[in-house]
Amino acid sequence: SQTIHQWPATLVQPVGSPLSLECTVEGTSNPNLYWYRQAAGRGLQLLFYSVGIGQISSEVPQNLSASRPQDRQFILSSKKLLLSDSGFYLCAWSVRSGTGELFFGEGSRLTVL
Amino acid sequence: AQSVTQPDIHITVSEGASLELRCNYSYGATPYLFWYVQSPGQGLQLLLKYFSGDTLVQGIKGFEAEFKRSQSSFNLRKPSVHWSDAAEYFCAVVNQAGTALIFGKGTTLSVSS
Q: How confident is the model at residue B1 (pLDDT cuts 50, 70, 90)?
A: confident
Nearest-5° Cα angle at B66, B65 to B72: 120
CA nearest A14: which of A86, A72, A75, A92? A86
Model confidence pLDDT, tens digit, residues B2-28:
899 999 999 999 999 999 999 999 976
| Residue B63 in this model has a pLDDT that exceeds 80 | yes
From CA B112, how far away is CA B6, in angstroms rounded? 22
**A105 interaction partners in chain B (CB closer than 8 Å):** 43
Residues of A in contact with B49 (CB under 8 A): 99, 101
Q: pLDDT per residue over A49-74, tens digit each? A: 999 999 999 988 678 999 999 999 99
Q: Measured between CB atoms, does A101 come within 8 Å of chain B?
A: yes
Whether B29 shows a pLDDT value over 90: the answer reads: no
